[in-house]
Amino acid sequence: MPVWVFLCLSAVLAWTVWLWPISNRFVYITFEGWRINWPLSNAKLLIGNSLPGFFALAWARWEGKEPFQDMMASLFGWRTNLRWYLLAITLPTVVFLASTCVVLVAFSESPRQPAVLVLVNSLFALPFGPLWEEIAWRAFALRRLQSRYSRLSSALIIGIYWGLWHIPMWVLTATYHTAPFLLIYCVNLVAWSVIFSFLYDRSGQSLPVTILLHSTILTVQNLVFFAVMRGTIYISPIAAVLTVCLAIVVARKLRSTSSPVSVQN
């Protein structure tokens, strides 16, 4: 089916860019006494993150006017109940703060103050990963999978693919990228995929809600990893356990919801 072709080609495009060899050069940005050193290797990571979203828009436009308009309606569907936006911020914040508290208690560690550069880097990445990934995975792929499978099955399929799709990037960027940690990262994304699908469906397929959820996860995660030093290695496993527990609760609600109206594959 075309949706499987789309997923395969999206992986090929992103992996080609991520794994493309590039010299370790930096771009220097100076503003009112502030100087930011930005490695060019980050540019290919951001481009690789964005390509599936651009590809999804092009694919939908090629299919016809109606599929493209459906994606645009989801992308600009910000008018939804405020509680979904609040959940998009609250859920990842609670998961990572709870994980951090466990680590701080276990190691009797005093957290560091978040660096401005960590927050700047997180905010800079928001228009790339969260926006374009959500266009590809939720507004395009998830809806097409839901036309053939249940909501829960579709969420799990996207989650498994999402985790495998991220592996090359984790190998390049993650501090811990051994096989056990890669497995933990994948399980974590599968669990988050169920939560993403739940919020996306319950908010009336509002992509701004899932973009906000995605952005909050990245921002809070980066701040937590910087704040905790000795216990950083335990943050991901603990957060994954909490996320899986949350996903199990959400999965029951997804299973009790009927599949949406079929969309063009």
The answer to whether position 169 is within a domain reads: yes
Strand-pairing partners, residue 29, are 36
Using the predicted structure, report yes or no on whether residue 258 has a pLDDT greater than 60: no
**Residue 263, domain member (yes or no):** no
Q: Model confidence over 132-158: pLDDT tens digits? A: 999 999 999 999 999 999 999 999 999
Answer yes or no: is 262 within a domain.
no
Residue 161 pLDDT level (bands cut at 50, 70, 90): very high
Please tell me the predicted confidence (pLDDT) of residue 103: 87
The domain in which residue 23 lies consists of 2-255
Assess if residue 203 is contained within a domain.
yes
**Per-residue pLDDT at 265:** 45
Q: Does the residue 265 lie in any domain?
A: no
> Is 264 a domain residue?
no
Q: Is residue 261 part of a domain?
A: no
Residue 6 lies in a domain: yes
Q: What domain count does the chain have?
A: 1
Percent of the chain surpassing pLDDT 90? 60
